Amino acid sequence: MKLAVIGRGLFGAAAARHLSKMGHEVALIGPDEPADFAHHDGVFGSHYDEGRITRWFDPYPFWRRMNRAALSRYGEIAAESGVDFYREAGALHVGRSDSRDVTSVGEICAADGIPCEAYQDARLAERFPYLRSTAAMLGYFEPRDAGYISPRRLVRAQTIAAERAGARIIAEPALGISESGAGVTIRTRSGDVEAERVLVAAGGHTQSLLGRSLGFTVYARTVALFRLDAAEVQRLAGMPSMRCIGPKGDNPYILPPIAYPDGQTWLKLGGDPVDIPLHSEADIKDWFRSGGTVAVADRLQEQILARIRDLRFEERRVVPCMTTFGNTGLPCIGPLSARVTVAFGCYGKSAKCSDELGRLGGMALLGEVDAELAP
């Protein structure tokens, strides 16, 4: 079957790999990463980064299933592409010991068979000596099948693996789609692409490309990167990915020191105190070109200094991102018509499990739909 996947991001590249391996003729459509955000007038993606937390744990059973399924295929994707994208650094979930959100982590891990170690107060400080304060704090540490991925490298790996399985890569944005009784036509700058069916997996651009709302809101996100010198990188060696559990605005996620394409090592964290909706394509483009919100980065800087003992950094960088949220807590994966299927809705948590979500999108395109996820 001749298929097209629009969106060469985390969901789309994964779907293209799975569909190509099944023997279908697949065109994967989507542009490369912009070289210059400030002057770019095309689409943007959320995978332009080197650090996203990965783990089995999630408070919700659906997302735990997605995480587990995707993690089981990390090695397969790396072998098929020759691209490494995952580091098993572990994941620490930490917060006040009297918080129900914190204690439930241990209960869920025990019930679901997720390897997990508990540390409290002095033992937490001993195990993770770079934490600034551990009094009245409780941490649950996932030592295996947890750490971080490079979403940028994962997309590259999926794309290479899809191409090796026979997919055709069209490194251009989709400008529009039209459906007829004979198939679907996708407009690109270099010409039309014809397919029997199309999967639209364009992240925050999905609803505008389709010209309809599916009940999801695109939100602006700001992350802060802190450049570390060699001594600080060495001091923080062994640091895991961290989820700081607390009220909104005081619950940052923290990535350990990671080498970036610029040759420098950066420590990353995010956690916006307020949600800023991006209502249109113009809003999304203006947001990415803006470079993010300095006030959010200032707050993130306060939080990292309050959580990592004696942190020294050489430079701070502010980076824009976006995420999509709906009302159900679940992604939107299913048919819009006989020939057009959609797969998107990340809730800020799907990079790690994008291979499974992309697979579900590919299966939905072929007619195997999970009713719980269908639009």
The domain that holds 342 is classified in CATH as: 3.50.50.60
Find out whether 12 and 167 touch, Cβ atoms under 8 Å.
no
Is residue 247 domain-shared with residue 310, that is, in the same domain?
yes
**Residues 99-153 pLDDT 10s:** 999 999 999 999 999 999 999 999 999 999 999 999 999 999 999 999 999 999 9
Is residue 45 domain-shared with residue 163, that is, in the same domain?
yes
Is residue 137 domain-shared with residue 164, that is, in the same domain?
no
Is residue 211 domain-shared with residue 221, that is, in the same domain?
no
pLDDT the model gives residue 337: 96
Count how many domains the chain has.
Answer: 3
**Using 50, 70 and 90 to split pLDDT, how confident is the model at 1?**
confident
Q: Read off the pLDDT of each residue in 65-83 and give the average, rounded to a whole number.
A: 98
pLDDT the model gives residue 38: 86
Q: Does residue 247 lie in a domain region?
A: yes
pLDDT the model gives residue 45: 92
Q: Read off the pLDDT of each residue in 24-41 and give the average, rounded to a whole number.
A: 93
> Taking all residues of the chain, what is their mean pLDDT, rounded to a whole number?
97
Distance CA 104, CA 97 (A): 11
Residue after which a domain boundary falls, among 143, 175, 207: 143
Q: Does residue 207 lie in a domain region?
A: yes
- Does residue 181 surpass a pLDDT of 90? no
pLDDT the model gives residue 354: 98
Its domain, for residue 280, covers 217-325
